[in-house]
Amino acid sequence: MMKLTLLSVLGITALAACGGSIPPPNENLGSAEAAARSAKEVGADKDPQAALYLKMADDQISQAKDLMRNGDDAEAGRALYRARADAELSLQLAKEVTARKLADEASAKARAAKEVK
């Protein structure tokens, strides 16, 4: 009898382990929304790549909110976990676009200065 109970407990624990790696939604909701806001502020919606990940973030945030309203925190947590990663990537891509633009402008200016007789 003891052996059976122990194995069953182990089995249930194994099953439970299949879904316990994602943090709860509260932590990631704030972070995901903040990252998405920052991305928009630096013009992520103007660059195709950045805009793509921003949209994914926004859609998942929206989805998470619905899930939370329906009491499904586990699924909401997953959606926000992905949303945060997408928003942070979008923000970084937008920053890259700006850095690239500034670098190109500086190079052009240096070249032009050299060419002036």
Partner 1 sequence: MKTPTLFVLATLALSVGCATAIPPKELVVAREEYSAAARSPTASMKPAELLTAKQELDRAEALFVDEGDSKATRDVAYVAHRKTLLAESTARTAAATKQMDEAGVQFGSTQAQRLEDTTARLQTAQGTLKDTQGALVRSAADLDKEKVARVEAERKAALAMADLQRIAAVKKEDRGMVITLSGGVLFATDKHDVQSSAMPQLNQVGDALVKNSPDSTITVEGHTDSQGAASYNHDLSQQRADAVAAYLVSRGIARDRVTARGIGPDRPVANNGTVDGRAQNRRVEIIVTPKP
In whole angstroms, the minimum distance from the beta carbon of 69 to partner 1 comes to: 20
Sign of CA dihedral 51, 54, 59, 60: positive
Distance CA 50, CA 85 (A): 12
Shortest Å distance, C-beta 61 to partner 1: 15
Q: Which of 54, 57, 19, 42 is nearest to 102 (CA)?
A: 42
Q: Which of 2, 15, 69, 71 binds partner 1 (CB under 8 A)?
A: 15
Interacting positions 29-58 with partner 1 (CB under 8 A): 53
Measured between alpha carbons, how far is 35 from 94 in angstroms, rounded to an integer?
A: 12
Q: Which residues form the interface with partner 1 (CB under 8 A)? A: 3-4, 7-8, 10-12, 14-15, 17-22, 53, 78, 81-82, 85-86, 88-89, 92-93, 95-96, 99-100, 102-103, 106-107, 109-110, 113-114, 116
